[in-house]
Structure 1
Amino acid sequence: MNKSNDNEEILCPCLVAQRLMQGKWAIIIMYYLSNGPIRFNELQRQMPKMTHATLSNQLKQLESEGLIIRTEYAQIPPKVEYKLSDIGKEFQPVLDSINLWGQKYIEYMKCK
């Protein structure tokens, strides 16, 4: 892609949002974090069929994008929590819309 196309992509809000939500698990992780801070193992228990490495990589990606915050507590055993950042919290209306649409789609498919 040439430089001008890169700049156009940066200016397109839909492409920016799509890039930030890349990864199979990004939206569901954001959904679980929207309920408040959660520890890694607790989050992993809620995720369907996700390996430790996959969750770790997805959390690192979301953290590097500024959507979540990782807090490590100096204690034994170590405690690490994840929560939505302020800009991550701004994604809540989108999560609510996805959830509502998903419920409608499930009902739609029951009637087919």
Structure 2
Amino acid sequence: MVIFDLLGRKWAMGIIWHLNNGPSTFRALQAYCENISPTTLNKRIKELSNAHLIMKTLDGYALTEQGKELFNLISPLGKWAKTWAKKITI
């Protein structure tokens, strides 16, 4: 249940999703997350880092091996959600 609590927090999954494309700076993450406040972004980064899902690198923040494994597990859910969303909006 702990992982669901963490992933259910605002922008947590979005950060993981974005970092799957490669390392990203704080500013790039903030731009990706549109209207996220710097305080909230800092908090999510700290939480995801403490959970060993992301890490600070020379190029910015990146997924750890565990973070990549998690992304691979939730990626099919994202694909399913896109199909589901099309069906319920018709």
Same fold by TM-score greater than 0.5: yes
> d(CA) in 2 for partners of 1:64 and 1:43?
18
Matched, 1:106 2:73: no
What is the identity percentage for the equivalent residue pairs of Structure 1 and Structure 2? 29
- Matched letter for residue 89 of structure 1: K
SS of residue matched to 1:91: helix
- In the alignment, structure 1 segments of 5+ residues that lack a partner are 1-14, 74-79
- In the alignment, structure 2 segments of 5+ residues that lack a partner are none
Q: Answer with 1 or 2: which has the greater Rg.
A: 1
Q: With the length of structure 1 as denominator, give the TM-score of the two structures.
A: 0.72
Q: How far does residue 49 in structure 1 lie from its aligned partner after superposition?
A: 1.4
Question: What is the match of residue 46 of structure 2?
Answer: 60
- Matched letter for residue 103 of structure 1: K
Q: Which has the higher contact order (CA 8 A, sep 6+)?
A: 2
- Matched letter for residue 68 of structure 1: I
- Matched letter for residue 73 of structure 2: V
- Aligned pair in 2 of structure 1 residues 85, 104: CA closer, same or farther (>3 Å)? same
Runs (4 or more) in structure 1 with deviation over 6 Å come to none
Matched, 1:23 2:2: no
Q: With the length of structure 2 as denominator, give the TM-score of the two structures.
A: 0.87
